[in-house]
Amino acid sequence: KDVTGAIELQIDALHPWGAEEVVWGWSRASQDGILVGIAPRKLLDSWEALFSEAGVLTAAVTFSAAATHSAVRIWTAAPASLLCYRAGDSGRIEVYGESESRGVYSAEFSFSLDRTLALAAGELRLDANEAIPFAHALPAPHAGSQAVSPLAYAAALAGSSQRLVDFINL
- What is the rounded average pLDDT of the residues 152-157? 82
pLDDT at 64: 84
Question: pLDDT-based confidence at 20, cuts 50/70/90?
Answer: very high
Question: What's the chain's average pLDDT?
Answer: 85
pTM: 0.76
Tens digits of residue pLDDT in 83-113: 999 987 788 999 999 998 888 899 999 999 9
Q: If you ran DSSP here, which 8-state letter would residue 37 be given?
A: E
Residue 158 pLDDT > 50: yes
Q: Cα(121)–Cα(118) distance, rounded to whole angstroms?
A: 5
Give the DSSP H/E element, type plus range, for residue 22.
Answer: strand 22-30
- Sign, CA dihedral 104-149-92-134, equals positive
pLDDT at 117: 97
**Pairing, β 33-40 against β 132-133:** unpaired
Residue 169 pLDDT > 50: no
